[in-house]
Amino acid sequence: MKERGGFVDSLLLALLGVVMLLNLYLIFYHAPVERTMGLVQKIFYFHVPSAWIAFLAFFVVFVGSAGYLITGREGYDRTAHSSAGIGVLFCSLVLLTGPLWAKPVWGIWWTWDPRLTSTLVLWFLYVGYLLLRSYLPEGPRRATLSAILGIVGFLDVPIVYLSIRWWRNQHPSPVVGGGSGSGLDPRMKAVFFFSLFAFTLLYVVLLRLRTRHARSEEAARSVLEERKRTL
């Protein structure tokens, strides 16, 4: 079973390497340069997929947390915790690459508009989730409290997503599925969707790696506790 898992991991890593290189090639050589923003618009091809992965990761936290509260199985809690770490990582990337795109285009690094502010709140919520887990002793209480925060935190995701539809703000309106007047050049759209696929694959690889790490941590803890009891 372990060998099969290792084979799958190797296969996924090899596939990820190829897909990421192809993604870079498509971003820089296939996607056309945007007329008004120039080359800096290419940040779009990993800024938006990073946001998508953050949303996906926090959705997995939501499902894992709900699963733990319903069944009490530790596997759900472990998956939720692993996914929260990855979600914070990608949400951090969104908050770092966004200002680097905003400065040359808007002339400012940051503004307190609904999309940006709700994304920052989302980041704080899940950093809080990770801090809560690190400060509480391991056990059902920690898992239950984390699950509640994991579920409540996810309420911010639809607010972040819909903020550019609900309120007029600095952040651009959606270019994919944004209705009439919005849209992307077909080549840009193809590269964008490929980038979404590449980042999703990256998320799957990271989640497998992180959950395996969490399982090893639990195994090490239980071995050490058993030793303490026998000594």
Partner 1 sequence: MIRKLGILVILASLLVAAVPVGDAAAQEEMGAVREAPAVRPAANVPFLFSAFALTWIVLWVYLVHVHRGQRRLEKMLGALGEENRVG
**Kind plus residue range of the DSSP H or E element containing 66:** helix 44-71
**Which C-beta is closer to partner 1: that of 11 or that of 131?**
131
Q: By CB under 8 A, which span of 29-37, 66-74, 155-163, 182-190 interacts with partner 1?
A: 29-37
Which of 70, 76, 96, 87 has its CA nearest to residue 129?
87
Q: Considering the rule CB under 8 A, would residue 131 count as an interface residue with partner 1? A: yes
Burial category of 180 from C-beta neighbours within 10 Å (exposed 0-12, middle 13-18, buried 19 and up): exposed
Q: Please, which contacts does 155-159 make with residues 24 or more away whose CB atoms are closer than 8 Å?
A: 156/118, 156/121, 156/122, 156/125, 157/55, 157/58, 157/59, 157/122, 159/118
Give me the 52-91 binding string for partner 1, x by CB under 8 A, dash otherwise. Answer: -------------------------------------x--
Instruction: Please state the φ and ψ torsions of residue 105, each to the nearest 5 degrees.
Output: -95, -45
Distance CA 202, CA 59 (A): 16
- Does 43 bind partner 1 (CB under 8 A)? Our answer is yes
Q: How far apart are the first and last CA of the chain?
A: 33
Q: Is 37 in the site for partner 1 (CB under 8 A)?
A: yes
Per CB under 8 A, does 14 bind partner 1?
Answer: no
Q: Residue 72 — left, alpha, or beta (φ > 0 → left; ψ -120 to 50 → alpha)?
A: left
In this chain, which of 21, 22, 96, 152 binds partner 1, going by CB under 8 A? 96
Region near partner 1 per CB under 8 A, out of 60-68, 102-110, 154-162, 189-197: 102-110
d(CA 143, CA 160): 26
Sites for partner 1 among residues 132-171 (CB under 8 A): 133-134, 170
Q: How far is the CB of 219 from partner 1 (least distance, A)?
A: 6
User: Which is closer to partner 1, CB of 37 or CB of 190?
Assistant: 37
Question: Which residue type is seen at 68?
Answer: Y
What are the residues binding partner 1 (CB under 8 A)? 33, 35-40, 42-43, 46-47, 50, 89, 92-93, 96-97, 100-101, 103-113, 120, 124, 127, 130-131, 133-134, 170, 202, 206, 209-210, 212-213, 216-217, 219-220, 223-224, 227
